[in-house]
Structure 1
Amino acid sequence: MLADELDEFLRELGCEVVGPAAQATEAGELAGRDTDLDGALLDVNLSRGETSFGLAADLAHRKVPFVFITGYDLESSFPPEFRNAPRISKPLDLGTLVHTMLRHFAPVTRPRG
């Protein structure tokens, strides 16, 4: 339910959403289809005991910014390469989400005219 509410909120803000995805494979396929991603919101824990760390590594390699959304605030919950990655703690505060997206994701480019 949170994913659906977040999807609706982001669309109302004018974002083009390519998810949500509950499994790592599905998320990777969605992210891989779009070469112009401005950023990605990654819930650390996915279904079936999967995590989004593999997708985060792929996004980092492609230089796509991402933010983890997590209930785990301990540094030890993250692999060393992601311990300094931006993250938002649950429960999700929408104001914090918007601020974090504006800070870390690619700016929107609008045509002049």
Structure 2
Amino acid sequence: MSEEADIFDKVFLVVEDEYLVAADILDVLGRAGADVIGPVSSLEGALKLVDEAEQIDAAVLDIHLRGAEVYPVADALSLRNVPFAFLTAYDRGDLPERFREAPFLQKPADPDELLHLLSRL
């Protein structure tokens, strides 16, 4: 089964405050046939979407969002049993201990690497 088939018709929440990075993520997901909620660029907006969305199959999370950290969103997704990956300029060692084993990719990310990571969520 191809990676595209692994995410076809899945609903991804994209939490990213950099426009060009968000556009790249949307492009990768769109080409693979996924549906997207977002992108959302603020902690408050992301928490609202997690709370209100009927379906989220997986999420892509930037860590730093306009002065806030995305960890409350990761916690909320975990409570819903929604898998997520961090896509960030941070190092894995910068993550809180509870998220050190989460799927992780550093920016700038190669589109094929990103697709591979997202297909495993």
TM-score range, shorter chain: 0.7 to 0.9
Q: Extract unaligned runs of 5+ from structure 2.
A: 1-19
Deviations 1:40-72 (A, max 9, x none): 00001111x111111001101110000001111
Aligned to 1:59: 77
Larger radius of gyration: 1
Q: CA offset at residue 88 of structure 1?
A: 0.7
Size of the aligned set, in residue pairs, is: 102
1:18 aligns with 2:18: no
Contact 2:41 2:65 (C-alpha < 8 Å) held by counterparts: yes
1:87 aligns with 2:101: no
Q: Extract unaligned runs of 5+ from structure 1.
A: 105-113
Counterpart code for 1:98: L
TM-score (structure 2 length as normaliser):
0.78
Contact 1:18 1:31 (C-alpha < 8 Å) held by counterparts: no
1:101 aligns with 2:96: no
Q: CA offset at residue 32 of structure 1?
A: 2.1
Runs of 4+ in 1 over 6 A off after TM superposition: none
Map 1:22-41; keep pairs closer than 5 Å: 22-41=41-60
Higher RCO by CA contacts (8 Å cutoff, separation 6 or greater): 2
Q: CA offset at residue 92 of structure 1?
A: 1.2
